[in-house]
Amino acid sequence: MTDTASNGAIVKHDRHEDLPPPKSEVGIYGWMYHNLLYPWHNAVLSVVGGSLAFWAIWGVVDYVFIGSVWIGDGPEVCTAQDGSIIHACWVFIDARFHQFIYGPFYPEASRWRIDYSFLLLALAAAPLFLKEEWIRRKIGLAVAGVATAFSLVAYGIGPAAVIAFLMFAPYGLTYARLGTILPRSDNNAAVGIVNRLAVIVAAGITGYFVGLAIMGGDEAVSLGWIATFLAFGLITLNKAPVKSWIAFLLIFGYPFIAFFLWLGGGFGLDIVETPRWGGLFLTLVVAGVGIAVSLPVGIVFALGRRSEMPAVRAISIGFIELWRGVPLITVLFMSSVMLPLFLPEGVNFDKLLRALIGVALFSSAYMAEVVRGGLQAIPKGQYEAAASMGLGYWQMMRLIILPQALKLVIPGIVNTFIGLFKDTTLVLIIGLFDLLGSVQAATTDPKWVAMFVEGYVFTAMVFWIFCFSMSRYSMHIERKLHTGHKR
């Protein structure tokens, strides 16, 4: 709207529409102009750098994808007439894939046991990632039924019975009430503890003798341990939800089942000694044991280092500083070569077991310092508030302090896990052929001696996938727990 003033001037009351910004200031062109093209020396550097980047990227793409060989029966399909290899030969990865996964010495007829154990872990742990209890129950039961039927058809009645127990048991054990029918003594906590220990020991002995009467020696020991852990779970997880029972069986039941499958020696399974383990399978075993042991042990030593008891604090500090002061390669060398020299004659421990213990203790020292950092970040008022509620030390740590401390150091914990996973390649120096060792062993074959680049690229991609997955999952946990301090 416009008006004409008495002096003839034009007065405009409406606001004029904003003019669009210049193209050189916004959008992709504006970004390129300010960051790549202005002033002139930036333009020169951008052209030179872009040309070099295009040349390098095109060379990699051409070597890895366009000119590479994916299908064939031998190395001859990858060589030129003069015998040279110009592009990537992924036929090598296809030909040696099983060796990279299971190791060069694991019997081919027994590899199904490794596949079955990891399938069992994935299916049993799947319900833990579901939010709603009723969804977890329905989907978990459906998956358990399908997995049992598949195992029965693919592997036989024995493996099917194992997977049925591990996957169906949580849904039945959640209704067990063994902890409520045991005699209690409110005036004497020691009496209650003794009663429960007696039930656990009796369950283990009963399971052993039942197994001895039905199956025999080795199977009887396994059945005794299963009965012991079940009794322990029925007492400690009284009225617990399905999720708690699934976690309990995965922590205390699955490792024994998996180790029994991998090693063999019972139920008609051939024995496969640990020196024959290798490949990605061995990498996951070493990393999995180290991760599973280092976190709880690290928490214990972190609490011990902050303890007010001088003896406990001194022991914790000594443990942490001792293991942090030596490189992992030295720990593995000492456990493999030097430790047997100090043992009595005739006493020997499995080489893989010694390596697992060394890796777990080494990682526990670093984990203890990460957890201690989280404990130091908790305000003193949290301790005082917990004490004012009448909570004891362990109740305070379990319910108040540790949940907050661990939430704060999730990035540090996962960073330690990733470092441990990559450090597993050091077991090659003590004669254990992990993924990297299996790749190096495959390249010593005269047929594939020139294929080491493809092997190392494959190894790097496998490690990157696992490490990146752990990193992304830690970010998911941080978002889920709202890590940080919001006001």
10-12 and 2-4: which strand pairing?
Answer: antiparallel
Is residue 464 a part of any domain in this protein?
yes
Paired with 434 in beta bridges are 279
Is residue 402 a part of any domain in this protein?
yes
In 90-195 the beta strands, taken as DSSP E runs, fall at none
List pLDDT tens digits, range 1-24: 555 555 656 666 677 777 777 776
Domain endpoint, select from 37, 68, 99: 68
Tell which residue, 143, 149, 196, 152, has the closest CA to residue 171: 143
Identify which has the larger pLDDT, 304 or 248.
304
List pLDDT tens digits, range 44-67: 888 899 899 999 998 888 888 887
Q: Per-residue pLDDT for 26 more than 70?
A: yes
Quote the pLDDT of residue 4.
Answer: 56
**Amino acid found at 54:** F
Report the C-alpha gap between 201 and 346 in whole angstroms.
Answer: 31
Q: What is the four-CA torsion angle of 46, 49, 54, 57, rounded to 10 degrees?
A: -130
Burial string for 327-356 (b: 16+ CB within 10 Å, else e) reads ebeebbbebbeeeeeeeeeeeeeebbebbb
Domain endpoint, select from 68, 87, 114: 68
- In the block, tokens 């047997």 appear at 340
**What total of structural domains would you count in the chain?**
2
Structure letter (DSSP) for residue 104: S
Q: Is residue 87 within 8 Å of 62, Cβ to Cβ? A: yes
Quote the pLDDT of residue 305.
Answer: 93
Q: Is residue 58 within 8 Å of 67, Cβ to Cβ? A: no
- Average pLDDT of span 311-322: 94
Is residue 171 a part of any domain in this protein?
no
Domain endpoint, select from 47, 68, 89: 68
Report the C-alpha gap between 362 and 110 in whole angstroms.
Answer: 32
List pLDDT tens digits, range 386-434: 889 888 888 899 889 999 999 999 999 999 999 999 999 999 988 899 9
CATH number at residue 336: 1.10.3720.10
Is residue 249 a part of any domain in this protein?
no
HSE, side-chain direction, 13 A CA sphere, residue 377: 17
Share of the chain above pLDDT 90, in %: 30
Is residue 52 a part of any domain in this protein?
yes
Is residue 159 a part of any domain in this protein?
no
Q: Of the spans 138-142, 268-272, 281-285, which averages the highest pLDDT?
A: 281-285
- For residue 31, give its domain range: 2-68
Quote the pLDDT of residue 467.
Answer: 95
CB neighbourhood size of 108 (10 A): 8
Report the C-alpha gap between 34 and 271 in whole angstroms.
Answer: 68
Is residue 46 a part of any domain in this protein?
yes
Q: Is residue 239 within 8 Å of 159, Cβ to Cβ? A: no
Quote the pLDDT of residue 9.
Answer: 61
Is residue 337 a part of any domain in this protein?
yes
Say whether the peptide bond before residue 39 is cis (omega within 30 degrees of 0): yes
List pLDDT tens digits, range 350-389: 889 899 999 999 999 999 999 999 999 999 999 899 889 8
Report the C-alpha gap between 164 and 143 in whole angstroms.
Answer: 10
